[in-house]
Structures are given as structure tokens and as C-alpha cells.
Structure 1
């Protein structure tokens, strides 16, 4: 009996120890598997979160472009992208924690709730991504309404037996815009015939982003900035909006190294550097959103007069009733047209250009006596030409230079109208063929015509006491030399210029004839 009891006790202990060992052997792989999953989840958090944050940055930029455009398909695509992005974010959030609302509600002061394997930084990214995605969802109905307003409605055709239910006949839409090979220069203060009788040019759309969408996107951007700040320092994100601005600057502006390359020349007063673009790039589309600045407005012609430090030199001030932003500044208004440098025809601006050949800009002086390419008659005309002081005569001179039919023009000093002088004048025009590293001489006359004159507006009795200020027309008359020094693959040129001389500002003395006085 004694031996039987010992055998039973030993067997029981061995079985008990075997069960314990078996349980530990079974539990150990489960713990290892759980720890492995947690480690894998923690390692995959940052790459997946970075991808989703980058996708949301791109989505916000896409929505901003869509709500400011007149393209309904861009709005449609943005709405679909919101739905797809929401699904991806939800799957990612639930893979890290099953209840995102609970986690982000309890996460306070850098403390994550129990049961979460996320670090403090990961929890901040988690909650910022959750909140920013929730901000984008209310934009879907806004985009749906915007898409409905932008989509063109095709008119329904009625059969012969049906009658229109409209009490008022439908409004006749304007004709599509007509593109001319060489548009006529504008006339100021004169009513001219239109090229097509009865032609009504279409009105460019004015599409403003909805205020609700703008506020929502700003809030989502702020939440995303908090998420970006919580990522490791080595993580980088690409802002599509900033990238587009940089790309646009490289497309239409100067390279960063170009001003440094010509630093010695640009250190002199009244010098500058600019990029001359083809007219096809500068001219905007006729039916684009008129609330968005055009390329010509975003990359305006550079100011001509600069001091040694690069500051814009003082120019003619406009009326004290006009803001400082509207002050007149002479500009290097030159563009490319069919392989020629051409003076931009804006308002009453005009001038004439001549190719001097390979003459260094440093060798030119205000008297032009060292320029062998200029005949005495041509040099005399460049220095002594005088713009008329009446609007009608001024526009006649302007048309003569544009068409090349100069005839007799005014000069500041009495000269004999000889055959040589007429031949020299007839060789001048507002454009000249482009030749790299050639120097061009340009006489540039510019005006800032008041809006009341451009539109032939009305000046009432109360405003007549300020008539002199209302009709004030700042102007400039400059002798400029410029030289193309680099050609881009897109056909644009980098040019250096130098203002050789400034003539007295031309005055227009009869502008009151071109406004309606009450």
C-alpha cells in the first residue's frame, strides 16, 4: 500500500507538471505572436500615416483649384476623391485602434488611454488625421451644388406641336470669342467700328470659392500642420500648392542664379534684368475666371527705374485720392511676337526700336555719339522726338509707328525734313527681329490714362472741382537700351537693360474733351 501511494503521488505530480509545461509552451508562442504583431503595427504606422497625410495635402490643393475653376469635371473628381480618401483613412485608423473617437477623446495632455500601443507622437498624428478627414466630409454637398451650377445645360428641343411654356423668350447668349491674328490697337476716347457688326463679346465668368469651403479647407490645413509637426524630423512632405508656385516662377520668371551672374552690371543705377515672354504666354484666355490673376498680372513687366540698392526709384505720383498701389511706374513693357521684340500696346503706350548690333551696354551714353550703327539723322530722331500734347494727335503718331507709315512727326528741335531723315524715320518700328547678344535701342513712351477717359465716363457737378485731379495722367518718356543674353528652350529670353536718358514727361492737355461733364 505504501508503494502504491508513492506511485500514485509521483504520477499525479508528473501529470501536473506536464500540464503546466504544456500550457506555458502553448502560451509562449501566442505572446510572441502578439508582440510581433504590435511591433509590426508600430513599424508600419509611420509609412502609412505619411502616405495618407500626403494624399490629404494633395486632395486639399485639388479641391482649392476645383472650387476656383469653371471646370465642372474638376469638381466632380474632387468629390469622388473625398469618398475614396475617407475609406482609406478609416481602414488605417481602425487597424491601429478600433474606436478612433474614443482614443481621440481620451487623448489629453500627451497621455494615451489604456489598450493603445501608440506613442504620444503617433496618437497626435492619428487624431489629427481623424479630425482633418472629418472636416472634409461636409464639403461633398458643397461640391455637388457647385458642380450643378457649372455644368452646362443643353436646351431641350420642342416638337412642332409643342409650345414653349416660357412667358419670356430665352436670352440670346453672346457669340463665342473671335481670335484675330493681329488685333487692332485700342483707341482711347474714340468710338470705333467693331470688326463684326452686332458682335457681342462674351463675358468672362467670375467664380468665387464658397465661403464655407474656404473656411473648412483652412481648418483642415491647420489640423494637417499639427500632424506634420508630430512626424519624425527626417520625414518630408510636398505641398502641391507651393510646388505649383515654384514651377510657375521657373516657367515665367528668372532663374535664381541669373541676377547673381550679372551682379556687377546690376549694381549700377537704372539697370535691370528681366525675362521677355512670348505673347502667347502673356495673353490670357478670353474665357478664364476673371477673379484669378492672369499670368501678365502675376508676372507684371518689371519697373524700369531702380536705384543702386535695387529699390524702385521715385516716379510720378498720381492723385492724392488714389492709393499708393496705383502709383504710376515706368515699366520694361517688351514682349516677343513672331520672333520679334515688340513694345506692348497698352492704353496709349508706344515707341520704336532699332537693332544696334553687338554693342556693349556699357559703351552707350545719353548722347549716343559713340554708336556707329546710328546715322546722324536716326540719332537726331531718337533724341529729339517729341510726343504731341493732344490726344488725337498723339494717337495719330502712335498709329504711324505701329503701321510703319510715319510721314511727318514732331521733334523737340526744328530740323529740316530731308530725304535722309525720312528714310531713317521709316526704318523705325515698334518691333525688331530677335538676335542673341545684340543691343537694341528703344524710345518708350508710357501713360497711365484715367479710367473716366478710357470708358468715356461722366463727371458730375460735385466732382468737377476735382477735375484736374481726376484727369491727371502720369507719364514717362525714356531712352532705353537692352540686350538679350540668354535664350530659354520655350523661346523666351533673358535681357539686360539700361535707362540712358529720361525726357520730360509728356502731357495731354485736352482730356476734358473726352469725358461727359454735367
Structure 2
């Protein structure tokens, strides 16, 4: 812990060094208004103040992210950035007024007495100057909180020593010949939990779950590490909220040519562009989407829904699947609603079939969705007969056997020559037929506990024939897909 504390404090003397200013120096005076008599000086003031306000807003957003992240490197980064930002703001305001605290305290009392309607009585530069100073001093209260959080995050991942200001290295007092590894703070810290093995899985990289009986695992008694649950301190969030409100109110005092960006809104836009359809795509396919039981969504790579191995995640934060859930295929009945859980495994489409759920799909070529109906007219006879006449077994074990047949393509005796899989090669502007069977299993079945025949018959289920068509491929390999439910078959029953 001594080494952790020593390494943590090293970057902060940087803040005592001269900070490069964003514009030319200003002559101090007793009043900002008197100092802004010439137009060029006023322009320089607004330009530099605007940059500092934007940087402070961006820092608040980064601190919020770090507070909710289990990665100690994020805490270390924003802790150093906080020191540099506060020094930059202080240098700026001290160039304008040497008695900063006295002036801004009197201005703050004046602001409280003046109503918003008569706020023009106070000069805009004075308000900007004091708002920037007040918000930076508010953020400075986060320093001890971030210091404490760094020690807590150090319980989850390795915190390496930082280099000295001069760049020199101090030898290890015990192992003098051991190389000293400095951290890369732009990379996640190495978690202390045991390295997670990359287990071989069954069928397109997905591990199948066995229901109704115990099954061997790749590693006996192996349990993946529990991800931490991180909650940002209320005291820190209150400080950030206060500083953000001050800076937000200050933006309206700047000339209209100085504009500010909202990092929170930018993050939301980037998130939607990464994982969701664009705003124009539903309009392009509005005619198709006007038909009943249709929809449009973004099909992502399976890796987008999975936590990378040997990384720390805050399990309390929403993941991609929670933010952008798979589309529902009908109205929820008694809490059960089938979904189109379609994803990409490399260059192949597949459905995420959990527990007893299983499916099979066929590429039927370039057939518009509007031309397909519940009788699958226009589809070749063998394919049509399989999708409409396939009868799922009613035995628990037989259901899982059929599921493996569609995953592997082995031991199939369907009355046609081609092998039918639960996945298919992704091709743009091709239409795919899917037969999807989904079951809502009770928790006791998922834990391989015994269940009575009466309880088996009460399991809710669905059997649907669906068609989907990829209409746009992104640079990241994901697809925009339009889909349509063609036929709802009788819900399958499990007898034993």
C-alpha cells in the first residue's frame, strides 16, 4: 500500500508547474468591465473563457464515467486532469482580478438579490469570470473523494507506480535488477481476479445449456469471477451537479458565435449510431413497416453483447442488450413475449436460443417480404413443407436432441436432400425464413431441479414462422434488418 500511495501522488506536482495559457496574458484590474474596453480584448476573453468552460464541462462528464467504472486507471486520469483544470482556471481568473475570492463572493451575493428579469444589471464578463472560478472550486472538493476511490479500485485491479516528474527511475529496494513497468493509463488496469479461460464452446461459439439433467463442464467446479457492483458516491454526484448547473447557466452569457458541445448528448448520439438503426431508415421502409407484425432493427455481432475476457465491468450499469433489446414479436401474454433474438456470429446469422429455445433458418433468395404470406407462396416446395409441417417433439429430451440436430446439421431425416441449420450465411438483400420455438421455463428447471408433469404442461411457449431481410450493411459488419411474422403456429407442449 506504501508503494501505491507513492505512485499515486507523483503526477500531482505537475499541477504546480506553469500551465500553458490558451491566449495572451491580460492586465489585472479591479473590475473586469473596465478591463474589456476594447473589442479585441473582449474577444480574447470570451474565446479563452469559452475554452475553459468547455473543458470543465467535458471533465465533469469524464469524472461521472470514472465514478461508475471499476477501472482504477480512469480514476487516476481524471484525478490528474482535475488538478490541471483547476490550476488553469485559477491562472485565468487571477490574471483578471488578484482578489478573486472577495470579488466573486460579493458578485455571488449580488446575483442572489437580482431577479432573473433584471440580470442585465450585472455585466456578463463578471458573471462568466466568477462562474468559472466558483465551479472550479466546487470541483476541487472532489480531490479527497477521488483519492479514496482510487484505493478502493486498487482492490480490484493492479495499480502500477507512475514515473517521476523528471522521468528518472528509482530502483526497486529489494529486486534492484527487476524491470519497473509503468502503467499505460489509456488502457484498462489488469484485474486481480484469476485469468478467465477461453473455453471451447458448442456450435458457432455458443455453449449449449442442458435442461433436466446435470452435465459435465469444460473445467470442473469452475465459476466465472463475479463482476463488481459500483455505485457513485452521492456526495460526488452532488458536487458534479452543482458545478454543471453553474457552467450551464454561464453558457447563455457568451456571444452567439461561441458554441458549446454537450458531452452527454454526444455520448447518446454515438451510442445510438453504434448499436441502433439510423433515424432515416424507418422512413425509407415506412411502407413495409405499415404492415402488421413488422419491424426494423440493427443486428450486431455477438461480441457486442458479451463482456470481453479478463476485463472488469460494473454489473449495475446497463449493457447493450438492456439498452437496445431484441424486438418483440407480439403482445405479451401472462408475462411471456417471444423475441427475435437475432445476432451475427462472424459472417452468419443465428438466433440466440437459450435453454430449450431452438430454431432453424433457410436463405430463400431475393424475395421481397411483401410477397410472402402465411402459406409461404413463392418458396420452394420442400422448404415450405418443412417450415409449415415440422412438428416439435413433446418430450423434454427429444426437444434438446432436435435442437442439436439443427445446430450441427447431423442425424437429420427431414424429407429433403439439403441439410437445415439454425444459422445461415449473411447476404445483403436476401430473405431468410425462420421457424422459432421459444419456451418460458421456470427457474427450477434452469437449475436442473425436478418438476411435475402438471408444471410442465403450464410452461408458456410460442411457435412462429418469421421472415427477415438485411437491407443495409455497416462498416463494422452489422446489418439493418427488416422482419415480418408470417404465421403463428399452435404453441408446443411438453408432456414429459
Matched, 1:251 2:268: no
Instruction: Quote the Cα distance in structure 1 between the aligned partners of 2:355 and 2:447.
Output: 12
- 2:147 corresponds to: 144
Shift of 1:92: 1.5
- 2:340 corresponds to: 332
Unaligned runs of 5+ in 2: 1-32, 115-120, 160-171, 176-191
Alpha-carbon displacement from aligned partner over 1:208-242 (angstroms, at most 9, x marks no partner): 22222222212222222211233334432112222
- Describe how 1:314-463 pairs up with structure 2 within 5 A: 314-318=331-335, 328-371=336-379, 374-375=380-381, 377-407=382-412, 421-424=414-417, 427-456=419-448
Alpha-carbon displacement from aligned partner over 1:260-306 (angstroms, at most 9, x marks no partner): 1111111111111122112222323244222222222222212234x
SS at match of 1:102: helix
- Describe how 1:220-239 pairs up with structure 2 within 5 A: 220-239=243-262
Shift of 1:80: 0.7
- 2:200 corresponds to: 180
- 1:97 corresponds to: 97
- On the 8 A contact 1:274/1:302 being kept in 2, the answer is yes
Unaligned runs of 5+ in 1: 1-33, 113-117, 160-171, 306-313, 319-327, 409-420, 511-518
SS at match of 1:138: helix
- On the 8 A contact 1:343/1:351 being kept in 2, the answer is yes
- Describe how 1:29-178 pairs up with structure 2 within 5 A: 38-39=37-38, 41-107=41-107, 108-109=110-111, 120-151=123-154, 152=157, 174-178=194-198
SS at match of 1:136: helix
TM-score by length of 1: 0.73
- On the 8 A contact 1:482/1:498 being kept in 2, the answer is yes
Alpha-carbon displacement from aligned partner over 1:307-355 (angstroms, at most 9, x marks no partner): xxxxxxx22122xxxxxxxxx3322211111311111122332110011
Instruction: Quote the Cα distance in structure 2 between the aligned partners of 1:51 and 1:345.
Output: 51
- On the 8 A contact 2:412/2:419 being kept in 1, the answer is no
Instruction: Quote the Cα distance in structure 1 between the aligned partners of 2:389 and 2:474.
Output: 36
Shift of 1:445: 1.4
Alpha-carbon displacement from aligned partner over 1:163-185 (angstroms, at most 9, x marks no partner): xxxxxxxxx96452424362421
Shift of 1:79: 0.5
- On the 8 A contact 1:128/1:223 being kept in 2, the answer is yes
Alpha-carbon displacement from aligned partner over 1:57-78 (angstroms, at most 9, x marks no partner): 1101111111212221111111
TM-score by length of 2: 0.76
Matched, 1:489 2:488: no
- 1:504 corresponds to: 490
Instruction: Quote the Cα distance in structure 1 between the aligned partners of 2:365 and 2:197.
Output: 41
- On the 8 A contact 1:485/1:496 being kept in 2, the answer is yes
Q: Are residues 136 and 451 of structure 1, via their aligned partners in 2, closer, same or farther at CA, if it must alter by over 3 Å?
A: farther
Instruction: Quote the Cα distance in structure 2 between the aligned partners of 1:458 and 1:128.
Output: 66
Shift of 1:89: 0.8
Per mean C-alpha deviation after superposition, the further-off stretch among 34-43 and 141-150 is 34-43
Q: What is the RMSD of the two structures over their aligned residues, measured on CA atoms?
A: 3.3
Instruction: Find 1:293's aligned residue among 318, 330, 334.
Output: 318
Shift of 1:38: 4.2
Instruction: Quote the Cα distance in structure 2 between the aligned partners of 1:473 and 1:47.
Output: 66
Instruction: Quote the Cα distance in structure 1 between the aligned partners of 2:458 and 2:97.
Output: 70
Q: Are residues 106 and 176 of structure 1, via their aligned partners in 2, closer, same or farther at CA, if it must alter by over 3 Å?
A: same
- On the 8 A contact 1:486/1:494 being kept in 2, the answer is yes
Instruction: Quote the Cα distance in structure 2 between the aligned partners of 1:347 and 1:217.
Output: 44
Count of aligned residue pairs for this structure pair: 421
Q: Are residues 145 and 506 of structure 1, via their aligned partners in 2, closer, same or farther at CA, if it must alter by over 3 Å?
A: same
- 2:26 corresponds to: none
Instruction: Quote the Cα distance in structure 2 between the aligned partners of 1:279 and 1:446.
Output: 20
Instruction: Quote the Cα distance in structure 2 between the aligned partners of 1:208 and 1:191.
Output: 37
Matched, 1:217 2:240: yes
- On the 8 A contact 1:175/1:200 being kept in 2, the answer is no
- On the 8 A contact 2:457/2:495 being kept in 1, the answer is no
- On the 8 A contact 1:110/1:120 being kept in 2, the answer is no
Shift of 1:404: 1.8
Alpha-carbon displacement from aligned partner over 1:112-147 (angstroms, at most 9, x marks no partner): 9xxxxx953223322322222122112111111221
Looking at CA atoms only, which structure, 1 or 2, has the larger radius of gyration?
Answer: 1
